[in-house]
Chains A and B, each alone.
Chain A
Amino acid sequence: MSHSQASDKLMVELRDLNKWYGEFHVLKNINLEVKQGEKIVICGPSGSGKSTMIRCINHLEEHQKGDIVVSGIPLNEDIKNIEAIRKEVGMVFQHFNLFPHLTVLENCVLAPIWVKKMPRKEAEAQAMELLERVKIPDQALKYPGQLSGGQQQRVAIARSLCMNPDVMLFDEPTSALDPEMIKEVLDVMIELATEGMTMLCVTHEMGFAKTVADRVIFMDGGQIVEENEPHEFFNNPQHERTQLFLSQILQH
Chain B
Amino acid sequence: MKYEMQPTLPPPASMVGVIGWMRKHLFNGPINSVATIVVGYFLISFLVPTIQWIFIDADWVGDSRDACTSGGACWVFINNRLDQFLYGFYPEAEHWRVQTAFILLIGSIIWLVMPQTPKKGLVAALLLVVYPVVAFFLLYGDIFGLETVETHLWGGLSLTLVLAVVGIVASLPLGILLALGRQSEMPIVKSVCVIFIEIWRGVPLITVLFMASVMLPLFFPEGMSFDKLLRALIGITLFQSAYMAEVIRGGLQAIPKGQYEAADALGLGYWQKMILIIMPQALKLMIPGIVNTFIALFKDTSLVLIIGLFDVLAIGQAANQDPKWIGYSTESYLFVALLFWVFCFSMSRYSQQLERQLHTGH
Task: List residues of chain A with CB under 8 Å of any chain B CB.
Answer: 58-60, 83, 86-87, 89-91, 93, 95, 97-101, 110-111, 114-115, 145, 159-160, 163
Contacts and interface: CB of A to CB of B under 8 A. Distances in A.
B264 A86 contact: yes
Contacts of A95: 258
Contacts of B267: 83, 86-87, 111, 115, 163
Given A95-B258, A99-B277, A110-B276, A60 B268 contact: no
A115 B268 contact: yes
Contacts of A163: 266-267
A114 B276 CA distance: 10
Given A83-B269, A93-B258, A101 B264 contact: no
Interface residues of B, number: 19
A60 B264 contact: yes
B2 interface: no
B265 A90 contact: yes
24 contacts: A58-B264, A60-B265, A83-B267, A83-B269, A86-B266, A86-B267, A89-B265, A90-B265, A93-B258, A97-B256, A97-B259, A98-B262, A99-B259, A99-B263, A99-B277, A101-B280, A101-B281, A111-B267, A114-B272, A114-B276, A115-B266, A115-B269, A115-B272, A163-B266
B269 A145 contact: no
A197 B237 CA distance: 54
A92 to B, nearest CB: 9
Contacts of A115: 266-269, 272
Given A86-B264, A111-B268, 11 more contacts: A58-B265, A83-B267, A86-B267, A93-B262, A99-B277, A101-B280, A101-B281, A110-B266, A115-B266, A115-B268, A115-B272
A87, A101, A145 — which one has the most chain B CB atoms within 10 A of its CB? Answer: A101
Contacts of B262: 91, 93, 97-99
Name the prevailing secondary structure of the B interface residues.
Answer: helix
B265 A86 contact: yes
B261 interface: yes
A71 B264 CA distance: 18
A110 B277 CA distance: 10
Contacts of A99: 259, 262-263, 277, 281
Interface in B35-85: none
Contact of B281 (A60, A100, A110): A100
A86 B280 CA distance: 23
A114 B275 CA distance: 12
7 nearest CB pairs, A to B: A97-B262, A97-B258, A111-B266, A86-B267, A91-B265, A115-B267, A87-B267
B362 interface: yes
Nearest to A55: B261
A20 B224 CA distance: 58
B95 to A, nearest CB: 43
Contacts of A91: 262, 265
Interface string B279-294: 0110010000000000
Given A99-B277, A114-B272, A114-B276, A60 B266 contact: no
Nearest to A84: B267
A123 to B, nearest CB: 13
B266 A159 contact: yes
A60 B261 contact: yes
Contacts of A83: 267, 269
B261, B267, B268 — which one has the most chain A CB atoms within 10 A of its CB? Answer: B267
A226 B50 CA distance: 87
Nearest to A90: B265
A83 B268 CA distance: 8
Contacts of B272: 114-115
B357 to A, nearest CB: 15
A72 B75 CA distance: 83
A159 B284 CA distance: 24
Contacts of B362: 100, 145
B259 A114 contact: no
B348 to A, nearest CB: 26
Contacts of A89: 265
